[in-house]
Amino acid sequence: MIFIFMFSISLTLNFLLILSHHPMMMTLIIVMQTIMICLLINFFSFSLWFSYILFLTFLGGMLILFIYITSLAPNEKFKTNFIKSLINLSLLMILTFTMIFLFKPNSSMLMNQDSMNPNNLDIDFNSILNLNTLYNKPNYKLNIMMMIYLLITLLIAVYISNPKSGALRQSF
């Protein structure tokens, strides 16, 4: 149930990203989308560390992009109509839930007694998760790739914000 709800919120955020035109709104939607993706990955991963490191990597990249966009974009007023935004958001949520119901017509969204039974949960409380699963054979290539990505992002941010080439924003 919660997986379907989070998936529908993720789809709604995808639709909202297409409709947004302001860089601040796009950044906010991408950060919320990153949180949703990390929570969805947490359902499929045996370790919480993978989604945590992925979130920190995405958030670091988003902060660098945010600084770059705010230095290039003019100071625009963020005008929003609350009623129109609320109507658009509710229509997108209804559309997303309708799409989910169309793809899964036989599944009920309501909780039943079987879902409340602790024996039906796929959680193994006896296993102790440690950091070895993060750096062992299946995940080490992904971790090295994320470390290289962070290094390249850091180098690009230093190159973009070189103080010798002048200020990125004009000071008044």
Give the residue ranges of the chain where pLDDT is below 50. Answer: 105, 108-113, 115-116, 121-128
pLDDT at 165: 61
Closest by Cα among 73, 70, 64, 59 to 30: 59
pLDDT at 45: 72
105 burial (CB, 10 Å; 0-12 / 13-18 / 19+) is exposed
pLDDT at 22: 74
Structure-token pair, residue 162 = 């070189």
pTM, to two decimals: 0.49
Q: Which residue has the tokens 């950060």?
A: 31
pLDDT at 111: 46
d(CA 129, CA 132): 8
